[in-house]
Amino acid sequence: MLAWALPLTLIVPNVWLDFTEHYTLLSCLNNIVTPMGIYLLVVSCCSKIGRTVLWSIPLMIYAAFQIVLMFLYGENIIAIDMFLNVATTNFGEATRLLGSLPAAILTVCAIYLPVIAGGIVMCKRKMRLDRAMMVRIRRLGVPILIAGVALYGACELTDSEYRAERQLFPLNVMYNTCKAVQRGVATSHFKDTSADFRFNAADTHPADAREVYVLIIGETSRADNWQLLGYDRPTNPRLSQRDDIIVYPKAVTQSNTTHKSVPLILSAATVENYDTAIYNSKGVLAAFNEAGYATAFISNQARNHSFIDHLGEEAQQVTFITADGREHLDSELLPVLQQRITEAKGKLFVVLHTYGNHFCYRDRYPRNHAFFTQDDNTDAERYNRSDLMNAYDNSIRETDLMLEAVITMLERCECPAAMLYFSDHGEDIFDDDRGRFLHSSPVPTYYQIHVPMLMWLSPQYVAEYPEQTAAAHAHSNCDVASNDAALPTMLALAGIRCDSVDYTRALASPSYIERPRIYLNDYNEAIPLARSGLRECDLQLLHNHQISHF
C-alpha cells in the first residue's frame, strides 16, 4: 500500500495544477505522466520502502506547500517571490497565517502524515518490499516514463513558449528554490555591490532653509477601501475633512509583493532594469544624504535582511520599533518621528515603513478603535468575509489617524514640508468567485495592484514652490506607477537634482509623463501589465476606475 500511496500522494498537486493553470493539453499530460513514471521507478529501485518514503519528505513538503497555496490563491505554482516572502516574513506572521487556514492544513496533514507515519513504521520494523512487487511497479513505471519523455519532446516541438522549469511540477518549484537562493545570496552582498554608486545629488533650494519631507510606505492597503477614493464607508474620517490632500486615484503598483515593491520604491532601480540595477544602485535616502539632509528610516516591520533593510540602513538614523521582538501599532512610529523632527534643526528627510493594513487586520488597531463590528473572526475563510472586511476597514481608519497625526506634526514645523503616502500593494479579501485572499500571489489581481496614494504640502511649501505644487495638482488624475514615481517625486519636491534620475517620472515635476503600464513578474521580467495574468474581471475593474492597463 505504501509503495502505491507514495507516488499517488506526490502527484496530487500536479493533477490540481492541470485544472488551474492554462497549460496546453500536452503540457497537462506531461505534468502527470513524467513525474509519475519517475516516482514509480524510484519506489521500485529500493526494497526499503520506509527509507524511500522518508527520503521523499522534501518532495512532500513541496507538495504540501503547493496545496496550501492552492487553497489560498486558487492557482499558480510556488513562485520565487513566495520563497523569498517566507524567508523575509517574521515567524509570528507565518504561523498566524497558517493557523488561520484550517482547511488547507487539515488537507495536507490528511494526505501526507499517514504516508510518513507508514514510512516510519516500515523503517522501525525493517520491513521490505518483496521482489515480485518491485518488478511489478518497475514494469508499470518504465513505459509511463517513456511516454512522459515522448510527451516532453512533443511539448518542446509544438509549443515555442513551453519551458519544463516553468510548467513541470516539482521541477519548476525546485528551479524557483534555486533562483530564490541565488537572489538571497546576491542581496546579502548588496552593500559591496552598491558601494560605488553615487547620485551626484545637488540641492537647488536655499542651503540654510528648514525643510521636512516624509515618505510613508503603506502596507497592504487597497484603494477600494479608502473613503477618499470613493469607498462608501467612513474609513477616512479625518483626511476626508481636509481640503489640502492631493489624491492620485490612478496609482497602480508594479509588484504585489512587499520584498520587491518596497525596494522599487526606495531604490534608484526601475522595473526596466530591476534584475541588475537593484544590486548596484543606492536609494532615495542616500540621495538625500548626498544633498546634505539629515535622514531617518523608522520602521514598524521586522528586520529580515532583505533590500528593505539595506536601503533603509542608508539613513543616518535607523529605528526598528520592532527591535524588542513585539508587534507594534503604527501610531507608535509617531513619537520617533516627532523626536527626529525636533532634533533636526535644518533639512530632514524621513521614510516611515508602516505595518499598515497587513493581515491579521484585527491586530492593526487598539480594541477601543474598532468602529466597524463584528471583527472577531479572523480565520482566512470566505464565510468570515464580513468580519474580515470590518477589521480591514478599521485598520484603514487607523492609517487615516496616523496620516493626520503626521500632517499635524509637519504643520507645526511652519516650514516647507511635504508628505507622500502610498501602499506597497493591495490585498484580496474574498472579493469574487475566485475566492482569493491576501497578496503576493504569482499572478496579481485588480485588488492587489490598485493602491491608495496621496500627497500633502504645507502652506509654506505651496507659497515658496508654486511650480512643484502646480505639477503635483496637475498630475493628480494621471496614470501613476506608484513605485516608479516615489523616488523622483521626493527628489523633485525637495528640489534635489541628480543626473541619473528621470524627472519625467516625478509627480511634482512639470515634465511628468504617463507611461505604459509595466509589471515586474516573478522572474524579474518587466512585462506589460495586461500580460501579468490579470483576468477579464480585473481589467474590467481597472476600466471602471478609468485606469489604463496598457
User: Whole-number minimum distance, CB 388 to Zn ion, in Å?
Assistant: 17
Size of the site for Zn ion (CB under 5 A): 3
Contact pattern for Zn ion over residues 279 through 308, marking x by CB under 5 A = ------------------------------
Nearer to Zn ion, 295 or 448 (CB): 448
User: Whole-number minimum distance, CB 269 to Zn ion, in Å?
Assistant: 18
The helix-helix angle for 171-188 and 80-88 (nearest 10°) equals 50
Residue 424 CA to residue 260 CA, distance in Å, equals 9
Q: Which residues contact 154 (CB under 8 A, 6 or more apart)?
A: 26, 30
Cell of residue 465, nine digits? 514652490
Q: If binding is defined by CB under 5 A, does position 309 make contact with Zn ion?
A: no
User: Whole-number minimum distance, CB 4 to Zn ion, in Å?
Assistant: 43
User: Whole-number minimum distance, CB 424 to Zn ion, in Å?
Assistant: 4
Q: Please name the amino acid found at residue 224.
A: D
User: Whole-number minimum distance, CB 85 to Zn ion, in Å?
Assistant: 9
Sheet holding 317-320, edge to edge: 245-247, 453-457, 417-423, 211-218, 347-353, 294-299, 317-320
Which of 82-90, 172-180, 215-223, 539-547 is the region at the interface with Zn ion (rule: CB under 5 A)?
Answer: 215-223
Residue 385 CA to residue 380 CA, distance in Å, equals 8
The residue written with cell numbers 496609482 in the block is 251
Tell me how long the chain is.
550
User: Whole-number minimum distance, CB 447 to Zn ion, in Å?
Assistant: 13
Determine the residue with CB nearest Zn ion: 258
* Residues of span 345-374 touching Zn ion by CB under 5 A: none
Residue 324 CA to residue 408 CA, distance in Å, equals 28
Nearer to Zn ion, 258 or 395 (CB): 258
Nearer to Zn ion, 219 or 314 (CB): 219
The helix-helix angle for 12-20 and 2-10 (nearest 10°) equals 30
Which of 8-16, 105-113, 216-224, 536-544 is the region at the interface with Zn ion (rule: CB under 5 A)?
Answer: 216-224
| 504 close to 512: Cβ distance less than 8 angstroms | yes
Give the helix ranges, DSSP H, for 378-476: 385-413, 446-449, 459-464, 466-474
Residue 260 CA to residue 282 CA, distance in Å, equals 15
Nearer to Zn ion, 211 or 424 (CB): 424
User: Whole-number minimum distance, CB 385 to Zn ion, in Å?
Assistant: 21
Nearer to Zn ion, 258 or 532 (CB): 258
Cell of residue 440, nine digits? 503576493
How many C-beta atoms lie closer than 10 Å to residue 91's C-beta? Answer: 8
Nearer to Zn ion, 162 or 307 (CB): 307
Count CA within 13 A, CB hemisphere, residue 71: 19
Q: If binding is defined by CB under 5 A, does position 85 make contact with Zn ion?
A: no
Nearer to Zn ion, 122 or 308 (CB): 308
User: Whole-number minimum distance, CB 442 to Zn ion, in Å?
Assistant: 15
User: Whole-number minimum distance, CB 22 to Zn ion, in Å?
Assistant: 27
Q: Which residues contact 110 (CB under 8 A, 6 or more apart)?
A: none
Q: What is the 3-state secondary structure (H, E, C) of 24-70?
A: CHHHHHHHHHHHHHHHHHHHHHCCCHHHHHHHCHHHHHHHHHHHHHH
Nearer to Zn ion, 222 or 340 (CB): 222
Q: If binding is defined by CB under 5 A, does position 258 make contact with Zn ion?
A: yes
End-to-end CA distance of the chain: 54
User: Whole-number minimum distance, CB 537 to Zn ion, in Å?
Assistant: 23
Which of 398-406, 424-432, 445-453, 502-510 is the region at the interface with Zn ion (rule: CB under 5 A)?
Answer: 424-432
User: Whole-number minimum distance, CB 363 to Zn ion, in Å?
Assistant: 15
Which of 11-19, 155-163, 219-227, 454-462 is the region at the interface with Zn ion (rule: CB under 5 A)?
Answer: 219-227
Q: Which residues contact 415 (CB under 8 A, 6 or more apart)?
A: 209, 210, 211, 212, 458, 460
Which of 105-113, 227-235, 258-266, 280-288 is the region at the interface with Zn ion (rule: CB under 5 A)?
Answer: 258-266
User: Whole-number minimum distance, CB 437 to Zn ion, in Å?
Assistant: 15
Which of 149-157, 175-183, 256-264, 295-303 is the region at the interface with Zn ion (rule: CB under 5 A)?
Answer: 256-264
Which of 99-107, 195-203, 212-220, 229-237 is the region at the interface with Zn ion (rule: CB under 5 A)?
Answer: 212-220
User: Whole-number minimum distance, CB 257 to Zn ion, in Å?
Assistant: 7
Which of 243-251, 252-260, 284-292, 498-506 is the region at the interface with Zn ion (rule: CB under 5 A)?
Answer: 252-260
Radius of gyration of the chain (CA): 26
Answer for which of 224, 387, 400, 424 binds Zn ion (CB under 5 A) is: 424
Nearer to Zn ion, 81 or 219 (CB): 219
Beta strands in 71-210 (DSSP E): 202-203
Nearer to Zn ion, 172 or 220 (CB): 220
345, with CB counted inside 10 A (0-12, 13-18, 19+), is exposed
Nearer to Zn ion, 219 or 431 (CB): 219
CA distances from 53 to 1, 133, 253 (A): 12, 16, 44
Residue 369 CA to residue 238 CA, distance in Å, equals 14
Which of 146-154, 310-318, 423-431, 482-490 is the region at the interface with Zn ion (rule: CB under 5 A)?
Answer: 423-431
In the complex, the residues that contact Zn ion under the rule CB under 5 A are 219, 258, 424
